[in-house]
Structure formats: structure tokens, C-alpha cells
Chains A and B, each alone.
Chain A
């Protein structure tokens, strides 16, 4: 069976799509198809790759709109998924393209620097004794140490697609969580303050980063852990944090969200007041009634105890 690869080309400012045909072989990866095209059909086609073993992350591309590691993704699986023998190959999204499928990592490395991306050792460590930690402490961030910087997580990040200037790439948050959870670091607050300033609460929570991570690292989960840490370190004076806290508190106060007060709790009276036209719009169709009394769950005392006891248990486990 022949498979047509429609590849997005970009050479010296000129953009076009070019079709290539490869014969599908059992076990053929996207990277093998690209290499075959470069070796036998068109030596001008550019892409990056290195280990070919899902370890280095150099070969990530977009196939039919989804980021994939070219070296591990089988062409036959894509043909099956999309029920077609035509695939569209593009460079990763949310990156500057240098040529064809090659993207520019330099601006991304510059963004990683925003989170102070190195362990700042506690004073008890020295050149002589080293910087050791227990296996238990290592396990707290081990998962996030597995990031291979392939860029798949940012390719379809919905927030990044809209505006990168006030939001970091998911892999940067993964790196930050690794540092914050590292018992050897003397000041997790510094990394945390940096991520709050760089958009932590602007995440859409759309789970695209987690869905696309080929190593299963759950960048969206890392973002949630960072948020939780900002509460512990009292770095929570911003609208996103207040909104999350308002929702959390509503569970203890009544069991369900009190929609009529969420904005006031999150933004304050003044900002919420500026939203009066929206409130009127909702009142007009019966979606909001300021006279409605918010119901309180009949089991609220038990629910409050659950939250309190869970908080105590979580603290004990720290």
C-alpha cells in the first residue's frame, strides 16, 4: 500500500506543501518514511533526528494536527487512526520554524531561564560531601526528571497558540515542578515566584500537553502541583489563585459552587461590578437571579470534616 505524505515545506521565507509517496512496510515509523524520502526522493527535505529510540526528542513533528515522536509513531497506526492513506506532516506548533520540519529551540531555552532552572543547593551540601538525597525524596520528582525536551507538549497548547508572551511552555512548568519538589533545593519559592509571574494561573487546563507527552509525564499535573505549592508558600495573591480558592471554599461552605459570588470572591467588588452588563444579560434569560438563596448541602458538617481531616492528613504526609 502506498501512503502519501503531504509535507509542509519552508525554505528561506517561501512556504508550500509538497507531496511524497512511500510504500508502507510493516513497522515503518514516520521517521523512517522521512529518511526514505530524503535518501531516495528529495535530499533538500530538512528535519531533525538523533537517537531514533524515543530518548532524545529531536524528531517530534505534527501529523494530522497532533504532535508525535516520529521515531516511535508507526505509519500504519496513523493510517488506521485517520482512516486514510494521506497524512499531513508539519513542524511542531507554537515554535518558530527554521526550515521545513526544523524548529528553533533558542527562544525556548531563553524561556526556560525564567524559572531559575538549576538546583540551588542547601547550605549543608559541599563540594566534599556532595548533594545527596534519599530514594524517597528522589521519587518525589523522578517522573518530571524524565522530560526529553521534545516540545510535543507545547505544539497544541491552546494558551500558547493564543499568546506566548504571558505564558510559558508546558515543559518549562515540568522543569519548574522538578526543582520545586527537589529536597536539595534551598529556595523553592524563587522557582515558584518565577512561574507565577510567567503565567502559571493562565493555563487553560485543556490537558493537551498531557495528551501529547510521549513520555507520559503529565505536564498539566505538574502545573497543578505548582499551583498547590504556591498556596503553601503564600504566593497566592492573584485572580487565578483566588478563583481556585473560592471554588475550594464553596465546597466547605455549602457543598456546591455559589456562582453568583464567584466573581466577587475572585476579582473583588470593583472588578466584579464592571461585569454588571454580563450579569444583566444572564438575568434577562433567567440564568441568574440575585434574589435566589444558595442551597446548603444537608450533609455539610460531614463535608467540612472531610475537607479538614483531608487537609490534616495531607500536611502530615509532607
Chain B
């Protein structure tokens, strides 16, 4: 099983531990990954608000490089997934738009045209579609560990684009948590948006919702929150103290990248998973 990896900017920046842990976990699971050479930012859910067509061509370029590698694309960021899948969905259903995009790529000297041959999927979806990858490899089943599954928005919505499981009532992350031996907990904030993309424009509201999510997971007895999105992880982890202040909460909950949680079940340590790079609740993590 081999994928062209689209890591996204944050895995090469602030959430480098997400990249390190992904590499180690994929290696253990037998998922071969090769980074898409010279990929660019997907637009981070903002570029299309400046120039929609330019953002579309940029993502067509990213996908076309993976197509040339002959591989499907694996992402580890919800927003990258949404941006790439949106571009692909638009191009695959509109031949004229595809032609226009390919004309720009060619005129600009890009060597490949967008064809539509590579699928775009997410690390979490791969584990959901291939539960056998974990068979016999969970050497440290997380018995007695209560985990709050925090999906984040862009892996669920819109359903028409994302189309994995039921966007209104997802259950696949809980399924994975059970497969790792842990117990998923239901919490009020599970489907709320963390507000990452509006952190600067609506700061007070975003800190409030950050606090609400962590507080509700804490009240539900979660020993950690796990998320498949490094942007959600960053928001909840980096701003946990301000979030607590905003909602007058005492909750201190570690926020894990999904691959770190998987890594712990595969027998890896906190050091292996780069947990020392987390900002909040480091001492509270009782696994790994």
C-alpha cells in the first residue's frame, strides 16, 4: 500500500511532531508514503476567498504531480483534504473548467496536465477502510483509556465532497478508538468547529469555543482528545489556557494527533510520538 503524501504546511512547521509520528506509524503499519515533490500550500481554506480560480489551479497542480507519480494522495490535515477534494470534484465534473485549468498549467510551464486519475484520501479514512492494517499490531491496547474523538469540520463537510461515512452522524473515529483498545467518550463539543480559521477575525468567540470543547471533553471523563486534523490540534492545544479562561473552566486535557494515539497503541512512547512538543496538559497524559 503506497500513497503520495500531501503533508500540508503545518506538518512542515508548527506541527512537525505530527509528521514525525505519521512516518513512524505508517512504517509500522506497512503504509508506504512518498511526499509529493514541490507541493504548494492548498490555500488553507482562505486563498479561494482572494481568487477562486488561482486557488483551483494551484491545487490542480498539486494533484497532477501525484498523478504523475501514479499514486493516490494521502493527507493528514482536514483542511488540505477539503481543498484538494473540492478542486478534484469541480474539475472532474466540468470538462471546460478542466481544459481552462490545464491551459494555465501548460502556459506557465508546469510539465503535467490535470487528468483526474489520483484519488484524495485522509489517513483516518485509510485506517477506517483497512482495519486489517492494525491486526496483530496493537501491542499496547489502550484498555481503560477514555478518548474524546474530535473530528473537526473539514473531514465531515460538505458531505457531497467528503463523502466518507455519514457527515451528520459520523462514527468511524470511535470505531478506530475501540480497535485500539480504548473507550470513546461522547461529549458536547464533539461536532463543534474549533474556529481555527477565524482565530484572528473573531478571537473572543474562537477562544470561547476552544474552551467549550476542551471543557466538555474533560467533563465527559476524557483522558485525552484525539483529532485527525493538525489545525484543530494546534487550536485546542496552543490556546487551551486562554480557552479555559474564556469559559471559566479548570479542564486540562491533552490534545493528541490521531497518529500519536495510534502510535501509543502500537507500543511507541511519548518521545517517539513527539509529545514533548505539545503546549498543554503534558503532565496529564497517562498513556504512551
Binding site for B on A (CB under 8 A): 64-66, 81-82, 158-159, 161-163, 166-167, 201-208, 210-211, 216, 218, 220, 224-225, 227-228, 231, 238-240, 243-245, 247-248, 250-251, 255-257, 259, 263, 266-267, 278, 281-282, 285-288, 295, 297-299, 301-303, 305-311, 313-314, 317
The answer to whether B104 touches A297, judged by C-beta atoms less than 8 angstroms apart, is no
Task: Give Cα distance in the complex from A52 to B281, angstroms.
Answer: 52
Interchain CB contact under 8 A, A251 and B41: yes
Q: Are the C-beta atoms of B159 and A211 separated by less than 8 Å?
A: yes
B248 interface hit (Cβ, 8 Å): no
Q: Is A202's CB under 8 angstroms from B104's CB?
A: no
Task: Check if B93 is an interface residue, CB within 8 A of chain A.
Answer: no
A204 to B202, CA, bound (A): 8
A314 to chain B, nearest CB (A): 4
Given contacts A278-B238, A313-B100, contact A250 B200 (CB under 8 A): no
Is the Cβ of B198 less than 8 Å from the Cβ of A204?
yes
Residue in B55, B104, B198 whose beta carbon sits within 8 Å of that of A313 in the complex: B104
Partner of A306, one of B15, B61, B279: B61
A244→B108 contact, CB < 8 A: no
Which of A216, A248, A251, A287 is the one whose CB lies under 8 Å from B14? A287
- Interface pick from B24-32, B45-53, B135-143, B172-180: B45-53
Among B47, B107, B202, point to the contact of A248 (Cβ < 8 A).
Answer: B47
Contacts of B12 in A (CB 8 A): 256, 295
Q: Is the interface of A mostly helix, strand, loop or mixed?
A: helix
When chains A and B are docked, how far (Å) is the Cα of A211 from the Cα of B162?
11
8 of the cross-chain contacts (CB-CB < 8 Å) are A202-B201, A228-B51, A231-B50, A244-B50, A257-B13, A286-B277, A303-B40, A306-B54
Q: How far is the CB of B203 from chain A (nearest CB, A)?
A: 9
Within 8 A of A (CB), among B240-282: 276-279
Bound form: Cα–Cα A6–B102 in Å = 54
> Could you tell me if B158 and A303 are in contact, using CB atoms closer than 8 angstroms?
no
Q: Which of A82, A216, A245, A256 has the most CB of B within 10 A?
A: A256
- How many angstroms between the C-alpha atoms of A238 and B167 in the bound complex? 33
Picked from A65, A159, A281, A302, the residue with its CB within 8 Å of the CB of B198 is: A159
**Which parts of B163-211 form the interface with A (CB within 8 Å)?**
166-169, 191-193, 195, 197-198, 200-202, 204-206, 208-209
> By the criterion CB–CB under 8 Å, are B277 and A248 in contact?
no
* Closest CB in chain B relative to A63 CB, distance in Å: 9
Interface size on B, residues (CB 8 A): 67
A211 touches B198 (CB 8 A): no
A255 touches B166 (CB 8 A): no
Instruction: Give A216's nearest chain B residue, CB to CB.
Output: B160
Given A82-B169, A256-B9: A204 and B195 interface contact (C-beta under 8 Å): yes
Q: For the complex, what is the distance from the CA of A113 to the CA of B285, rounded to whole Å?
A: 51
Contact between A211 and B156, CB atoms less than 8 A apart: yes
- Which of A81, A204, A259 is close to B197, meaning CB atoms less than 8 Å apart? A204
Interchain CA distance A202-B57 in the complex, whole Å: 26
How far, in Å, is B271 (CB) from chain A's closest CB? Answer: 13
Known: A81-B166, A305-B109. A159 touches B43 (CB 8 A): no
Encode B110-141 as 1/0 by CB contact (under 8 A) with A: 10000000000000000000000000000000
Beta-carbon contact of B49 and A227 below 8 Å = yes
In the complex, the chain A residue whose C-beta lies closest to that of B13 is: A259
Which residue of B10, B44, B208 contacts A162 across the interface (Cβ within 8 Å)?
B208
Question: A303 CA to B208 CA in the complex, in Å?
Answer: 38
**A297 in complex: contacting residue of B40, B45, B46, CB < 8 Å:** B40
Question: Cβ of B74 < 8 Å from any Cβ of A?
Answer: no
Asked if residues A257 and B9 are in contact (CB atoms below 8 Å), the reply is: yes
User: Which interface residue of B40, B56, B61 has the most chain A CB atoms within 10 A?
Assistant: B40
